[in-house]
Amino acid sequence: MNTMTNRRSRISNHRSQTSDLRSQITNFRSQITNFKALCLALLCGAMILLLNSDARAQAKITKESFGKTADGQNVDLYTLRNSRGAEVRITNYGGTVTSLKMPDRNGTFADIVLGFDNLDDYLKATAYFGAIIGRYGNRIGKGRFTLHGVEYKLATNNGENHLHGGIKGFDKVVWNAKPLKLANGAALVLTYLSKDGEEGYPGNLSVKVVYTLTNTNDLKIDYSATTDKDTIVNLTHHSYFNLAGQGNGDILNHRLWINAARFTPTDAGSIPTGELRNVHGTPFDFTRLTAIGARINQDYEQLKLGKGYDHNFVLNGRMGVLRRVARASDSTSGRVMEVWTTEPGIQFYSGNFLDGTLTGKDGKVYQQRSGFCLETQHYPDSPNKPAFPATLLRKGARYHTTTIYRFSAGR
Ligand code: BGC
């Protein structure tokens, strides 16, 4: 009897030990699972920290003196460098981009905008290399426009017409500058107060332009402005690009796409006639990637008048919506530039008036067509063309446009 009882109790002990062991194993398993989850969370956290600190640590801004204007104002030069080593240099004289370094398909950097090494050359220059253009980018016929029944006479500096804001446009003034470090790159905030009557324009115009170099090789430009009296505004940027590197030959083999079904033909003074002409069947059709030089010498009146391309293209898509409107590429380096904008138009200028008389950075001589501009904008002479999108800025309203030059490199 005793032996039976002992055996039973041993069996029951054994069972309870087995169940203890099972529960210990289960506990141990769940601890392992928890530990794994903890490790994974720690690893993810470390990676996020690393990525963020990497981007912040590597996007850098430095400032140096660039000299003085004739009237003694100090001018600075800012260098913005992103986490991939791309770099833009901007001076607060004219908000000018003096150099822009982007990689080719092998990761080799080159400066892809035309410009000068020193401030004195910018003070003398008339080509608007890399500058902010305002108050009105492009031309206003006879330098006149009427607003609320009042005729305003602007400075004329291009024959009988007004070009790029007049004799002393936004490209020739000293802007206030404030560098800004961002999680995705670096920025330079430029501000300028254009006084009522400056170059003939009405209203005190308070202007802000923010250049951002992102860690994904975008050069983004945000333009904004407010006024204390109704006025007109049309701001743009005037870099001359050569994707093979500045001073490295002409841009005639660059291939270009512009998302525009129409362009605005001009008279002999480059003032739009008012016609919106279909590009189909003309040398102005860039709706398929075409070399800039493929048709530039064709016997087509508009090319003769502009001495090449110097025309506003009517961009497809909705004005006010940031959309891809142009793409240029250079097959030797593989560099590609896309242009995105909220604007309704783009001036494609093929550097026709460069003639070898300007010597730029590194002693490079800029021959005809050694750079091209893609200036996002409202159409030229809009204040005198009621059918064009309006450039009126009302007191109390805010002007705001965005343009992105996006760089990459392909095969
Ligand atoms: C104009 C050209 C002008 C050039 C430099 C361009 O935006 O369309 O006609 O020659 O700027 O001044």
pLDDT in tens, 70-93: 999 999 999 999 999 999 999 999
Residue nearest ligand 1's atom 7 by CA: 138
Indicate the top mutation candidate among 136, 164, 366 to test ligand 1's pocket, ranked by most ligand atoms within 8 A of CB. 164
Residue 265 is classified by DSSP as -
How would DSSP label each residue in 281-310?
Answer: TSTT--SS-EEGGGSTTSS-HHHHHHTS-E
171 touches ligand 1 (CB under 6 Å): no
Q: 257: CA distance to ligand 1 center in Å? A: 20
Residue 171's identity, in one-letter code, is D
Cα 384 to Cα 39, 143, 205, 346, distances in angstroms: 68, 10, 21, 18
**Is 254 tagged catalytic?**
no
Exactly one of 162, 164, 238, 311 is catalytic; name it: 238
- Per the structure block, which two tokens stand in for 139? 């031309």
pLDDT of residue 39: 41
Question: Percent of the chain beyond pLDDT 90?
Answer: 85
User: Which atom of ligand 1 is found nearest the CA of 270?
Assistant: 9
Q: HSE on the CB side for 355, CA within 13 Å?
A: 4
Q: Whose CA is nearest to atom 5 of ligand 1?
A: 127
Q: How many CA atoms lie within 13 A of 56 on its CB side?
A: 8
Query: Which residue out of 129, 158, 163, 375 has the highest number of ligand 1 atoms within 8 Å of its CB and is therefore the one to mutate?
Result: 163
pLDDT tier, 55 (very low <50, low <70, confident <90, very high otherwise): very low
End-to-end CA distance of the chain: 92
Q: What's phi and psi for 32, nearest 5 deg?
A: -60, -45
Catalytic residue flag (residue 238)? yes
Query: In what helix (H) or strand (E) does residue 393 lie, and over which residues does it extend?
Result: strand 392-393
Residue 355 burial (CB count, 10 A): 10
How large a percentage of the chain has pLDDT more than 70? 86
Closest CA to 180 of 209, 206, 212, 208: 212
Is the per-residue pLDDT at 297 higher than 90?
A: yes
CA angle 330, 171, 382 (to 5 degrees): 85
| Any atom of ligand 1 within 6 Å of the Cβ of 127 | yes
Pocket lining: 213 vs ligand 1, CB cutoff 6 Å: no
